[in-house]
Chain A
């Protein structure tokens, strides 16, 4: 959580540094002297970025809870089922496909765009199915929801991640609809690009979660602790 907040603080700090906070607005009448403060991003894209910051905060908070739990009780670390790599591959494929779809939409190549969108949808469904199998494998391995807090956190965090993926699928459904109604419109192109950003972010969160569940985050923290002491 601290790392996440530091990253956000840096972004906010950089933005603030461009807002002429040291200017004297009481002396300035007419046109503002410089235009450094502009945020040259479409509102929808900026809205998505802010939303992703909120989502990031949510997972950073849960990640902190997991790290603290493992720090206290290392034996609660859950062995990850091999199925999780299938899920990961599916999400990577979905993310790449959406990236291609956004590119094809930008270049006005409707055939490639639709093929990439279909591939992304299928890969995302495969990811969700894989998640179900991961949960089943966890249960078969004795890791149940009402077991150790660390095990419960794995279910909770992956469940919340899955919900975000589902929400993304709803958005992707709207993209399909928009394509059907207004094929090739600027709005439809922008919507695909937004989906791609969202999927990349969810993939990033997913990879961070795998590092977390495999105990890597605790090892890194232990290393920092050793270096500091």
Chain B
């Protein structure tokens, strides 16, 4: 390593934003409820997301009970089944994954990792959470509305979404869903503005963009993408709401329902699909990019090695972000598009696999000859890599039009997107919580409970989704309440379906163990001390653990290096913090590096 000689702190560039202490709350209400501190807002976001995620988990149990043991549970009617599907999908994708990665980790980590005192617009940040909470409450209220929540499927395709034959279509269900999504987007926009401007303007002295941890790069790029992609969903929701309430026909062709001509005509349902997937595919990466960034940092810290190909990792994040806007129609191969469009979107879909593969190779090469500590964050990071590769490979199959057409609308697709967009990012969320819980609370999570949680979740997820690929391959369609006469299947799948259901129940139960661990360890967990993982990035260098209001005490930390100086030859320890000005002597005995 050829270090450029250290220069005095005076040589670091000045701050973009003056160092001003953000507004300090003095009351309990101001601190814990109407908090403007990004750390508390992060906890509020995460708590709400986990709570609504638990609802979605229970819904998945109910769906699996129907599929595994059809006809056994009288309360699971066909209407209820479709409502469970819809709410499970929408909650998991939007209200849990997007909210926790951007609102949760984004709020907690961005100011700390860039060396800022808080987000640049703390009041707007607080509003962002409250609008998100309103969105969640509106969504939950649809469970209690006459007719129940919408059962249109999480893609909400018109015209069926607002027809009386669909659960919640002619009642309040679909309207509450659309209203909730509109609120979510408004709330997210408020938060997103904060994340982007904070990364651009509030970095501490010496923290260039190319010294940012990949976690920040991932969250930053995902936020930019979300700010550009969510307007498509916003427009789609508003237009569908108009169709349902005000009699417009944006997405509604001339229709006959139960022998009666409806007052619609001239609209095109395909327009909704384009709008939805223009948001929907970037959404995959809005969830994936923060996960990519976080997992890069977890691997570097717990393998005590600098991230392999940092530049490539940054470029890959940016390129994936850009490309994700020109692949959306691969979700619409069966909508009757022109073959040339299919060819175009298949090509872009395959191209996006290249930067994604670069990231996977770089994670593996970071692990190569690293000092791997099989801590809980590392276990979940490894679980993510394996799962993401599995889900990504089946994505390559489905990216091809000729393979996608027969597999579309089968359980193969369900298994694919659960691997790549469900299990994989959730592995990262768990890994991240195990990693940063000591910073947030000052205590370690219980190791034994964590090990049980990891292995049951990891093996259980494979017990669910590997057989599900097979179930799809033999021809089981998705979104079927029950198979009925199933002679079209090449193999009976009753046993497999029951097995998958049992596995799903067990994996769900393991999450209760995790929640118990979260609560138990706040008081009884081992004291974490300062920087228990011996990490280099700034969030671990705060004067107090957990960080106090304003994060940095009297003065902001100057940054002298990138975030991955692990096992540097000649350094007294096997890591050098970003705010450590010391230049190691390259002639000294290497520490922590195997010859």
Contacts and interface: CB of A to CB of B under 8 A. Distances in A.
Nearest to B247: A146
Contacts of A179: none
A27 interface: yes
Interface string B246-257: 111110000000
Contacts of A37: 208-209
B465 interface: no
Contacts, number: 158
A20 B562 CA distance: 14
Nearest to B565: A26
Given A30-B560, A61-B275, 19 more contacts: A5-B325, A19-B208, A21-B209, A28-B561, A29-B3, A29-B4, A30-B583, A31-B7, A39-B16, A40-B16, A46-B197, A50-B227, A54-B227, A54-B230, A54-B231, A65-B239, A148-B249, A152-B242, A153-B250
B108 to A, nearest CB: 20
A211 interface: no
Contacts of A215: none
A30 B11 contact: yes
Interface string A52-79: 0110011001100100100011001000
A70 to B, nearest CB: 12
B200 A39 contact: yes
Contacts of B565: 26
B209 A19 contact: yes
Contacts of A82: none
B250 A152 contact: yes
A35 B13 contact: yes
Contacts of B231: 54, 57-58, 61
Given A37-B208, A57-B228, A149 B201 contact: no
B560 A26 contact: no
A117 B234 CA distance: 33
Interface string B209-237: 11100000000000010011011101100
B271 A43 contact: no
B86 interface: no
B564 interface: yes
Interface in B176-194: 189, 192-194
A73 B206 contact: no
Interface in A129-183: 145-146, 148-149, 152-153, 156, 160
Given A20-B210, A26-B562, A29-B561, A62 B189 contact: no
A229 interface: no
Nearest to B236: A61
Interface string B103-135: 000000000000000001100000000000000
A40 B16 CA distance: 7
A216 interface: no
Given A32-B13, A54-B231, A57-B231, A27 B210 contact: no
B190 to A, nearest CB: 9
B427 interface: no
Contacts of B564: 26
Interface in B516-532: none
A20 B6 contact: no
Contacts of A46: 197, 200-201
Given A58-B234, A65-B271, A30 B121 contact: no
Contacts of A9: 322
B193 A30 contact: no
B311 interface: yes
B247 A47 contact: no
Interface size class of B (residues with CB under 8 A): 35 or more
Contact of A152 (B3, B197, B249): B249
B6 A30 contact: yes
Contacts of A41: 201
A73 B266 contact: yes
Nearest to B279: A61
9 contacts: A5-B228, A20-B208, A30-B6, A31-B206, A37-B208, A61-B275, A148-B266, A149-B249, A156-B248
Contact of B120 (A20, A33, A43, A153): A43
Contacts of A25: 208, 210-211, 310-311, 561-562
Nearest to B576: A29
A9 B232 CA distance: 17
A22 interface: yes
B121 A27 contact: no
A161 B415 CA distance: 42
B90 interface: no
Nearest to B314: A21
Interface string B2-38: 1111110001110011000000000000000000000
A189 B11 CA distance: 33
Given A50-B196, A65-B271, A146-B263, A29 B228 contact: no
Interface string B80-95: 0000000000000000
Contacts of A61: 231-232, 235, 275, 278
Q: From A19, A25, A51, name the one whose CB has the most chain B CB atoms within 10 angstroms.
A: A25
B234 A29 contact: no
B227 A53 contact: yes
B463 interface: no
B359 to A, nearest CB: 16
Contact of A43 (B197, B249, B263): B197
Nearest to B233: A61
Contact of B193 (A20, A23, A28, A51): A51
A122 interface: no
A30 B565 CA distance: 13
A59 to B, nearest CB: 9
B189 A54 contact: yes
A38 B13 contact: yes
Contacts of A33: 4
B242 A156 contact: yes
Interface in A11-27: 12, 16, 19-27
Contacts of A148: 249, 266
B581 interface: yes
A51 to B, nearest CB: 6
Nearest to A65: B271
